[in-house]
Structure 1
Amino acid sequence: MTTGAFHDIRFPAAISFGSTGGPERRTEIVTLSSGHEVRNTPWAHARRRYNAGLGLRRLDDVHEVLSFFEARRGRLFGFRWKDWTDWKSCPPSAAISAADQRLGTGDGTASVFQLARSYGLGAAEYIRPVTRPVAGSVRVAADGVELAEGADFAVDTATGLVTFATTPASGAVLTCGFAFDVPVRFDTDTLEINLAAFEAGEIPAIPVVELRA
């Protein structure tokens, strides 16, 4: 069976709503003889981890996750995950707009740009590539004028690449807005669910981990 494949299907969003998790960073710290620290990281991007088990509320939820797990063959196939704490290009209370994020600046040659979401400001700003936008959610503008998907640009929902029908002019400011999922896989090949314990309030651990592009 082919490894590394991805199923373009979202984990049940109603269940992921009750999950826990978030970004994980890896920082290497060396303490010098003087007591000072040297800190570095081998990771350019965070990796997110979640526990889907905490979203289970009913036996029907258990059945739904069991079916989803089997269809993914455990850890074999990746899938989409909606991270309810960070799933769109704007704050949770705001509506997605074409001015939410920077997409790039036209140079008169490039016609393909990567969707990305920024965190922080100035020198501390972190740019996170977005590879799994939600179909139909992407909005794009050039110099503040919103464009039409299909006629003016196309979006690859498997990579997050935006391709313009007409190459943006040099100096054109390109912006975008979107909803997005996280590409993940189960981080276990075994589901241990005791129904008696579940009904008594014991929640099973179902680890999920982000896939690197």
Structure 2
Amino acid sequence: MAFHDIRFPANLSFGSVGGPERRTEIVALSNGHEERRSPWAHSRRRYDAGMGLRSLDDVAALVAFFEARAGQLHGFRWKDWSDYKSAAPSAAVAYQDQVIGRGDGKRVQFTLRKSYQSGPARYWRPIAKPVPGTVRAGIGNVEQFDTLDFTVDAALGILTFNAPPAVGAEITAGFKFDVPVRFDTDRIAVSVASFQAGDLPQVPVIEVRL
């Protein structure tokens, strides 16, 4: 499968429904207790692109995008309007948003990630598709600047400093990001009469591992 580095129309994904999915295996023991485990280290997101359609022009745009991706064959970028930046939804992106590592005096590359914390538990989500031009970075609470101090591989989510950060220096970053996805169907069924009556087509979209 190839990945097309193009974003699904953001105005169509705005009305979509979806979010993270986990897989948990549960075994019921004879004493009534349970054993639970997950084979997934990371969650996987699912969406329904059909929920964002508001007009037949939107349907035409969706079909064109679907055909250009050859259905399920090629991946693409997706903006999850409920979770698309390193900061809180009401805040602007800042270079101190997320801790992505610590300097050792030699390492220059750091992978972007986002923290999800509740109580003592924390999950680090890898960010593979940052939005070009939105990444900010800092070393030890001092902001660094794109091109002058670092570069970003927007296809892999890797930040590379021009010089290795000092030993123990906290590396931080702020960014907007997309979700790498593909269509989870090779068929789109649309009825004009049904659509005008409010019956929206189902167009499942699923996150892909890179």
TM-score by length of 1: 0.97
Alpha-carbon distance between aligned partners in 1 of 2:184 and 2:118, rounded to the nearest angstrom = 33
Aligned equivalent of 2:154, options 154, 157, 160: 157
CA distance in 2 between counterparts of 1:99 and 1:26 reads 32
**Aligned residue in 2 for 1:14:** 11
1:104 partnered with 2:101: yes
Which structure 1 residue ranges, 4+ long, deviate > 6 Å from structure 2? none
> Higher strand share goes to which structure?
2
**AA at the equivalent of 2:177:** F
Range moving further from structure 2, 119-128 or 51-60: 119-128
- Which segment is superposed worse, 178-187 or 121-130? 121-130
Report the counterpart of residue 5 of structure 1 in structure 2.
Answer: 2
State the match for 2:130 in structure 1: 133
Matches within 5 A, 1:28-177: 28-121=25-118, 123-177=120-174
Deviations 1:66-98 (A, max 9, x none): 000000000011000000000000111100000
SS in 2 for 1:14: helix
Supply the distance in 2 between the matched residues of 1:109 and 1:32 (Cα, whole angstroms).
50
Ranges in structure 1 where 5+ consecutive residues have no aligned partner? none
| 3-state SS in 2 of match to 1:188 | coil
Aligned to 2:178: 181
Spell out, residue by residue over 1:90-145, the C-alpha distance to the aligned partner (whole angstroms, 9 max, x if none): 11110000000001100111110000000005641000000000000000000111
Q: What is the distance in 2 between the residues matched to 1:42 and 1:195?
A: 42
Aligned residues: 210
Q: Which residue of structure 2 aligns with residue 199 of structure 1?
A: 196
Give the residue type in structure 2 aligned to 1:209: I
Summarize deviations over 1:159-191 as a string: whole Å, max 9, x none. 000000001111111101000000000000011
* Percent identity between the two aligned chains: 59
Cα 1:144/1:80, change in 2 over 3 Å:
same
CA RMSD of aligned residues (A): 0.8
Distance 2:3 2:137 in 1: 27
Partner AA of 1:11 in structure 2: F
2:165 and 2:145 map into 1 onto residues whose CA distance is: 14
What are structure 2's unaligned runs of at least 5 residues?
none
